[in-house]
Amino acid sequence: MSFEINATDRGCRARAGVIHTCHGDIATPVFMPVGTVGSVKAVHQHELRDDINAQIILGNTYHLYLRPGLGTLQAGGGLHRFMGWERPILTDSGGFQVFSLADNRKIREEGCTFRSHIDGSKHLFTPENVMDIQRVIGADIMMAFDECCPGDADRRYARQSMELTHRWLDRCIARYNSTEPCYGHHQALFPIVQGCQYEDLRRESAAYIAERATEGCAIGGLAVGEPTEVMYEMVALCCDILPADQPRYLMGVGTPANILEAIERGVDMFDCVMPTRNGRNGMLFTAHGTINIKNKKWETCFEPIDPESPAECDRVYTLAYLHHLMRAEEILALQICSIHNLAFYLWLVRTARRHILDGDYARWKSAILPDLMRRI
RNA sequence: GGGGGAGUCGCAUAGUGGCAAUUGCAACAGACUGUAAAUCUGUCCUCUUCGGAGUUCAUUGGUUCGAGUCCAAUCUCCCCCA
């Protein structure tokens, strides 16, 4: 894997680049749709490719390990082949589940034990087996096993958590270096900065990660309850320390505004469940603001969902029709909302890239931001 | 004509002397950030300074400290027999 930077904006730290992988190139800044269990919920692979033009998607180590399980994944030739997706895949390590399944897990030095949310069975994740599992999944980008620390953690806990994540990282790297890809294509390993909302911890962590990163780095543990401004400060601070010649991935973020702010501070890669989850719950993101398609006001709005969208469903179907489908609880509504939101997110980062190349990113961002944050 | 049953806040339901009244649906909003989410939350008779206040359970009258609940009549609907 390699990363080339095409342009750095004149007015800010935003950059436009290309990540080259064995499964194709990824133009950055990039948004990666989340496909936790080997499926971007409610969206077909051909829609991801042709309507949305997703360059890379996410899978999740924890979920795929529980189901379908490693045997099936290996027999199926890895996740790319199993799910019929020939473009790049990044897998999260399960670090986020250490956070989100807090009631069903126990953290120790060795690793983290989980109770399966599916059948209650007990499982142990260690830095070593998380590397092994991601080898079997076959992700182009594997993530280090970390603890995603809650946003309101106190300093003492945040430090302990960060130091554990660092020790786990060294074990991840050792395992990574002593194992080979299963399917013949290269797999990169991204370490993850932690440190919660404490500046000194973030600095320390970013420096630790910068020393060990070879192909890319991630910033984790943000957008987990801390104020948005704090998140922006942490992002800026981390980007200053992380290697300039590697892609930077801000994990789990975020709203359209969050993404533009982070791009301005030097982030290249994003993922978030928001476009798909909120879409399934009736929220549409648009260049003019967010709308709740379930609201009565859309009942007779016979305008196309988005006449400019590359996705056919956005141009063909009206807001009134989508409103009707949503109310009628038709599965098609969830599909259309998900496709629309993903198409919008990808339009957003594509347009951001163009403005970075043009050198007027900051100005464009300031102009579009109030609209994005509006509620229609 | 005779006998039996039923009328509750849009719809459907609970309620057998202390009730502004149960639950579901519908309706109207809100939330959602490395997915335990096609999920969750709030409002849902009227007014409110959010403390409450005022009117309600087909209609009218009665019993009772107190009635959606008991009694009587009336109206409407359903079932059975002629």
- Could you list the pLDDT tens digit for every one of the 376 residues in chain A? 999 999 999 889 999 999 999 999 999 999 999 999 999 999 999 999 999 999 999 999 999 999 999 999 999 999 999 999 999 999 999 999 989 998 899 999 999 999 999 999 999 999 999 999 999 999 999 999 999 999 999 999 999 999 999 999 999 999 999 999 999 999 999 999 999 999 999 999 999 999 999 999 999 999 999 999 999 999 999 999 999 999 999 999 999 999 999 999 999 999 999 999 999 999 999 999 999 999 999 999 999 999 999 999 999 999 999 999 999 999 999 999 999 999 999 999 999 999 999 999 999 999 999 999 999 9
What domains can you pick out in chain A, each with its CATH number? 2-271 (3.20.20.105)
C-alpha span between A268 and A245 (Å, rounded)? 11
Strand B positions with any atom < 7 Å from protein CB?
A: 26-40
Instruction: Quickly tell me which residue has 């509006």 as its tokens.
Output: A374
Which nucleotide has its C1' atom closest to residue A192's CA?
A: B34
pTM comes to 0.94
Q: DSSP string covering A287-329, please?
A: TTEEEETTSGGGTT--SBS-TT-SSHHHHHSBHHHHHHHHHTT
Query: A351: Cβ–Cβ under 8 A, 6 or more apart, which residues?
Result: A364
- What residue has token string 């702010």? A261
- Give me the pLDDT at residue A29, please: 98
Instruction: Match 């000194």 to its residue by tokens.
Output: A200
Residues A9, A51, A92, A146: which is the catalytic one? A92
Question: CA at A329, C1' at B22: how many angstroms apart?
Answer: 27
Protein CA A242 to sugar C1' B5 (Å): 81
- Mean per-residue pLDDT over chain A, rounded: 97
* A276 CA: nearest nucleotide by C1': B35
Active site annotation includes A306: no
ipTM for the whole predicted complex goes beyond 0.90: yes
pLDDT at residue number A11 = 84
Nearest nucleotide by C1' position to the A94 CA atom: B34
**CA A167, C1' B2: Å apart?**
92
CA A295 / C1′ B77 distance in Å: 38
pLDDT of res. A10: 86
